[in-house]
Amino acid sequence: MPDLQQQAVTLLQDLIRFNTVNPPGAERAAIEHLERYLSEAGFQTQILAAEPARPNLVATLRAPDGAPEHPVMVLLGHVDTVLADPSEWLHDPWSGEIADGYLWGRGALDMKSQVAAEAVAAATLARDGWRPARGALKLVFVCDEETGGDLGAHWLTANHPDAVRCDLLLNEGAGEVFEFGGQRRYGVCCAEKGIFRFNITARGEAGHASLPRTGDNALLKLAPVLTALATQPESFALTEAPEALLRALGQDPRDPSAAMARLEAAHPKLRTLIEPMFSVTLTPTMASASTKINVIPSRAQVRVDCRVPPGLGRDAVDRRIAQVLGELEGRFEIEFTEQTVGNASPVQSDLMQAIDRWVQANEPGAAAVPVILPGFSDSRWFRDAFPECIAYGFFPQRHQPLIEAAPLVHSANERIDVRDLGFAASCYRDLAAELLG
C-alpha cells in the first residue's frame, strides 16, 4: 500500500498541474502523459480524438491468445475539470501541493484522483508481469465529461464502440465512507438520475417602471412559484437502487420518511446528501425578466433543474409539479427543455459481490451498499451503448468520509486525503486480479 500510495500521489500531482478546465479542456498534454505512463508499463495504447487538442486514451492489457475473450473490464475516468478561482483557495488549485495530509488542487476529487489510482493499480500489475487469464483490462481516460461527453465518452461509444466495449466498468460516482447505525458503509453507484429541465413563464403587460401601476408586472407573479419551490412537501419515489439502499441500512422501504429522519439524527449532512436519491427534485436555478431596468416586464421566467430517479419519466415529473405548485400550475406556461431518462445497472452482480468482499476484507465490519448518483457521469454512455455492461461508480475513500468529501467537489479548496489514493489503488489492483484471473 505505501508504494501504491506514493505512486498515486506523484501521478495525481502531475495530472493536477495540467490545467484542463473545460471549457476549453485542452486535455492533450494530460492524456499523452498517461499514455506514456501506461505504455511503458506494457499496455497497448491508442489515442482517439474527435478534435486534435482533446483526445481520449484507450490502454489495453489482454489475456493470452486462445484464452476466453470475456470479461472485458474497463477502468474509466475523465481528465477535464471545472473552473477554479485561485483567489478563493488556500493553495494554488494547479499546484498539487500536499498540506495537512491532503493533496490540494482542482480535480483532486473530481476525478483526477481516481484516474491516478486506476492507472497506478493497472501499471503495477503489468510491471509485475500479471496478465489477465481471460478477457482484458482496459483503461479508458477521456476528455469533455464536464460538458456532456460529446468529445469524450459519448463520442467514443458512438464512433469507436469496439475499442471500448466492455462487460464490467468502474467509474466515478460513489465510494466515500459514511457511518449509520454503528456500521461504516461504502456506497457503490448503481444508477444515475434522469434530467427533466423545464421553464415556468409568467405573462403580464409592459409599462414604464416609474409608473408601477401602468403595467402588469410578470416578475411579481413568479413570487408564489418561488415560495412553493422553496417549501416543497416531502415526497419519495423509490426505484430499485434506493430500495436496496434502505434495506442495506436496515430500514423499511415502505417508510422512507422515517428512514430520512434517522439519517438526519445520525448526521444532518447525511440526510442532505442521501435524500435526493429518493425523490423527484425541483431546483430553481435561473430567472429572467425585463432586459431594461426602467421597463416593467411583460414576461418573466424561472428555469428549474429537475432530477428524476432512474426508471421514472415525464409522468412522475408532472405529478411532482402538480404536488408542489397546486392551483398555481394553471396560471403559468410550463415548457420542458430537456428530457433524459435516468440509467442504471442491476444492484446484484458478480462485480457488486467482489466489491463487497474487498470492502469487508480491507475494513472488517464495513459493507458496500448501492446508491444513486443525483448528478450525471460518463457511465450513462456505456450503459446506453452496451446494455449488458455492469457499470458502477466506486472510488473507495476510507479516511475522507462522504460528509467531508462531497461538499468539496466543484468547490474551492478541493482536496483528498493522500491515504485514500493508496487505498483506492489497492482496490482496483485487487478487483482486476480477482475478476480477470
Residues 426 and 413 in one domain: yes
**What does the pLDDT average to over 12-28?**
98
Residues 336 and 347 in one domain: no
The domain in which residue 360 lies consists of 2-180+343-436
How many domains are there within the chain? Answer: 2
Report yes or no: 229 and 410 within 8 Å, Cβ to Cβ: no
> For the domain that residue 220 is a member of, what is the CATH number?
3.30.70.360
Per-residue confidence (pLDDT) for residue 32, from 0 to 100? 98
Task: Tell me the pLDDT tens digit for each residue of 156-169.
Answer: 999 999 999 999 99
Report yes or no: 354 and 172 within 8 Å, Cβ to Cβ: no
Residue 186 lies in a domain: no
Residues 328 and 349 in one domain: no
Report yes or no: 167 and 77 within 8 Å, Cβ to Cβ: no
Q: Any bridge partners for residue 48, and if so which?
A: 56
What pTM, to 2 d.p., does this model score? 0.94
Residues 324 and 347 in one domain: no
Does residue 50 register a pLDDT over 60? yes
**CA Rg value for the chain:** 23
Per-residue confidence (pLDDT) for residue 238, from 0 to 100? 87
Give the number of other Cβ atoms within 10 Å of residue 149's Cβ.
23
Mean of per-residue pLDDT scores for the chain = 96
Tally of helices (H runs) and strands (E runs) in the chain: 15, 19
Does residue 7 register a pLDDT over 90? yes
Residues 409 and 384 in one domain: yes
The gap between the terminal CA atoms of the chain, to the nearest Å, is: 21
Does residue 2 register a pLDDT over 80? no
Q: Interhelix angle for 223-230 vs 314-325, to 10°?
A: 110
Residue 254 lies in a domain: no
Task: Tell me the pLDDT tens digit for each residue of 354-363.
Answer: 999 999 999 9
**What does the pLDDT average to over 99-112?**
98
In one letter, which amino acid is 378?
A: D
* CA–CA dist 393, 310 (Å, integer): 15
Residue 266 lies in a domain: no
Residues 329 and 349 in one domain: no
* CA–CA dist 139, 133 (Å, integer): 17
